[in-house]
Chains A and B, each alone.
Chain A
Amino acid sequence: QVQLVQSGAEVKKPGSSVKVSCKASGGTFSSYAITWVRQAPGQGLEWMGRIIPILGVTNYAPKFQGRLSITADKSTTTAYMELSSLRSEDTAVYYCAREEMGSPYYFDYWGQGTPVTVSS
Chain B
Amino acid sequence: SSELTQDPAVSVALGQTVRITCQGDSLRTYYASWYQQKPGQAPLLVIYGKNNRPSGIPDRFSGSSSGNTASLTITGAQAEDEADYHCNSRGSSGNPLYWVFGGGTKLTVL
A residues at B contact (CB < 8 Å):
35, 37, 44-47, 50, 59-62, 95, 97, 100, 103-108, 110-113
Contact = CB atoms under 8 A, between A and B. Distances in A.
Nearest to B98: A61
B99 A105 contact: yes
A47 B31 contact: no
B99 A35 contact: yes
Interface in B40-65: 42-45, 48-50, 52, 54
A111 B48 CA distance: 19
A113 B42 contact: yes
For this complex, into which size category does the number of interface residues on chain B fall? 20 to 34
A107 B31 contact: no
Interface of B: 30-31, 33, 35, 37, 42-45, 48-50, 52, 54, 84, 86, 88-90, 96-104
A115 to B, nearest CB: 11
Contact of B45 (A47, A103, A106, A111): A106
A59 B99 CA distance: 10
B43 A47 contact: no
Given A44-B103, A110-B42, A111-B42, A105 B89 contact: yes
Contact of B101 (A44, A104, A106): A44
Contacts of A50: 99
Given A95-B42, A95-B43, A106-B45, A47 B99 contact: yes
